Amino acid sequence: MRQLPEADRDAIRLAQDPQFTRWLDQITATGGCSHPVHLSGSTTTLDTATGEILSQYDTRAEPGERLLVRCRNRRATVCAPCSRLHAGDTFHLVRAGLTGGKNIPATVRHHPRLFITLTAPSFGPVHRAGDNRCRPRRDGSTCEHDRPLGCAAIHTPDASLVGQPLCTDCYDYTAHVLWHAHAGKLWDRFVIGVRRHLATSAGLVQSRFAEHARLSFARVAEYQKRAAVHVHAVVRLDGPAGPDDEPPAWGTADRLIDAVRASARRVLVRTPHSPAVGELTLRWGTQIDARPLRTDGDGPDDDAVAAYVAKYVTKGAGETGAGTDHRVTTWDDISTTPVSDHVRNLMRACWLLGGLPEYEPLHLRTWAHTLGYRGHILTKSRAYSTTYAALRAERAHHVGRADIPGTVTEAHWRYVGSGHTSGAALIASGIADDLAVSRRLGVEALKEGSGVNNRTA
């Protein structure tokens, strides 16, 4: 016993507890969450008419007098089981907006739907991966800092140089960070611009657009190798009442593509004037991709698009190598953060610019770990599809915790802690692995049972 590692000894101690089975049930119910929240309290469900107690639950009967619930963190590096669940919810949320389901009618499949990618502009040349030479140049010229302007190497995608600037002194760190800080505003203006272009092309007064059509979207942010954010989005055009409403006859996918391209090229945001920096005009990069999602099987598949979007929400800034998952609180923190020199320079730019009073509203120091970008990873418009909250409620319903008509539930909960002891963590991760395996087997069985193009509702 003494020779065993601490975690194993702790696990054995747990297993000897008379309430171990009940504890295992709790861990299984959290999906093997690695940082569960511990709650203490009770719920009582009463019949509203008679006042009769229909059911009662109290954590006093639970192991340690507490109930463990999921941490619900979206990032795989923080909690793998919860991140898988979140990715699943995102998949359903995005997919429902494309093909219906979750209270969205299946007719949305026939509305104009696009998958678009908007990029950040260039802030200076960086090393590129690919089959060709990185940045070939015949003249061998150098920048004002005596660094070569070209690079004759061929880089593999995982090479550490990829995404790093050819010259860090030439690279515009200020513009990169300020662009991130304004990316949300740029997106908002882009959406307004799409509506405007659509209205104009349909011969409508812009202020009347909402009486004819409604634009919905779900977008996700992705850090590229150069640590600049890319935006992928699903855009859908509905009738004025939303997903249940037929889009207007003029609302074609081609018209929507034209409006997306025109708006992405034209919108701009000006940074607040700064004595040190001046005023920058920020735009989207010139690479704009907008492709229609068709119902005839031509082009990207709806499920593939939903899976693609879901994949990004589980990634923290740290995992993509752009930034970290934890806030930096001092200037010295930045030098010890395990990131590339390029990312470190971006964090330093956030810190320095964040000290200027004119940029105070941008909270650049607070968001130095995400390189100034402070948007949510997934953002959607209200009418696009269901919500995370609705998906969670649906799951709660399956385990029998939903509200029943004619009853009222009184709940009293208190936070009493979080996380696992070393032994509990060991057991929880084992359960998480088991659940992942059985889920995979379940999916495979489903595929075999109904063909590869299985589309379960």
**Footprint (CB under 5 A) of Zn ion, residues 39-78:** 70-71
CA-CA distances (angstroms) from residue 90 to 85, 134, 273, 391?
9, 36, 39, 9
Least Å distance, CB 400 to Zn ion, is 22
Confirm or reject binding of residue 431 to Zn ion (CB under 5 A). no
**Footprint (CB under 5 A) of Zn ion, residues 266-285:** none
Confirm or reject binding of residue 169 to Zn ion (CB under 5 A). yes
**Cα 445 off chain centre by:** 29
3 state SS of 175: helix
List 11, 134, 282, 290, residue binding Zn ion (CB under 5 A):
134
H or E element at residue 236: strand 229-238
Select from 147-155, 277-285, 339-347, 449-457 the region that touches Zn ion (CB under 5 A): 147-155
Least Å distance, CB 77 to Zn ion, is 12
Number of residues that bind Zn ion (CB under 5 A): 14
Select from 129-137, 233-241, 243-251, 439-447 the region that touches Zn ion (CB under 5 A): 129-137
List 2, 138, 145, 398, residue binding Zn ion (CB under 5 A):
145
Q: Which residues contact 232 (CB under 8 A, 6 or more apart)?
A: 115, 116, 117, 219, 220, 222, 308, 309, 312
Confirm or reject binding of residue 170 to Zn ion (CB under 5 A). yes
Q: Angle 173-201/253-266 helices, nearest 10 degrees?
A: 140
Q: CA 54 to CA 429: how far, in whole Å?
A: 36
Of 73 and 99, CB closest to Zn ion: 73
Q: CA 284 to CA 189: how far, in whole Å?
A: 11
Select from 82-90, 175-183, 412-420, 440-448 the region that touches Zn ion (CB under 5 A): 82-90
SS3 content of the chain, % helix, strand, coil (to 5): 40, 20, 40
List 7, 69, 143, 159, residue binding Zn ion (CB under 5 A):
143
Of 79 and 424, CB closest to Zn ion: 79
CA-CA distances (angstroms) from residue 68 to 182, 322, 334?
39, 33, 35
Select from 18-26, 131-139, 322-330, 435-443 the region that touches Zn ion (CB under 5 A): 131-139
Residue 60 Rama label (left phi>0; alpha psi -120 to 50; beta): alpha
Confirm or reject binding of residue 82 to Zn ion (CB under 5 A). yes
**Structural contact between residues 59 and 40, judged by C-beta atoms closer than 8 angstroms:** yes
Of 75 and 232, CB closest to Zn ion: 75
Select from 146-154, 305-313, 350-358, 419-427 the region that touches Zn ion (CB under 5 A): 146-154
The number of helix segments (H) and strand segments (E) in the chain equals 10, 11
**Cα 3 off chain centre by:** 44
**Footprint (CB under 5 A) of Zn ion, residues 384-403:** none
Confirm or reject binding of residue 262 to Zn ion (CB under 5 A). no
Nearest Cα to Cα of residue 221 among 94, 312, 98, 128: 312
Least Å distance, CB 393 to Zn ion, is 19
Select from 7-15, 29-37, 369-377, 409-417 the region that touches Zn ion (CB under 5 A): 29-37
Select from 161-169, 272-280, 333-341, 443-451 the region that touches Zn ion (CB under 5 A): 161-169
Confirm or reject binding of residue 341 to Zn ion (CB under 5 A). no
Confirm or reject binding of residue 309 to Zn ion (CB under 5 A). no
Nearest Cα to Cα of residue 96 among 371, 327, 334, 385: 385
Q: CA 99 to CA 261: how far, in whole Å?
A: 24
Least Å distance, CB 288 to Zn ion, is 25
Q: CA 264 to CA 252: how far, in whole Å?
A: 18
Of 250 and 415, CB closest to Zn ion: 415
Of 331 and 388, CB closest to Zn ion: 388
Q: Which residues bind Zn ion (CB under 5 A)?
A: 33, 70-71, 79, 82, 127, 134, 143, 145, 151, 153, 167, 169-170
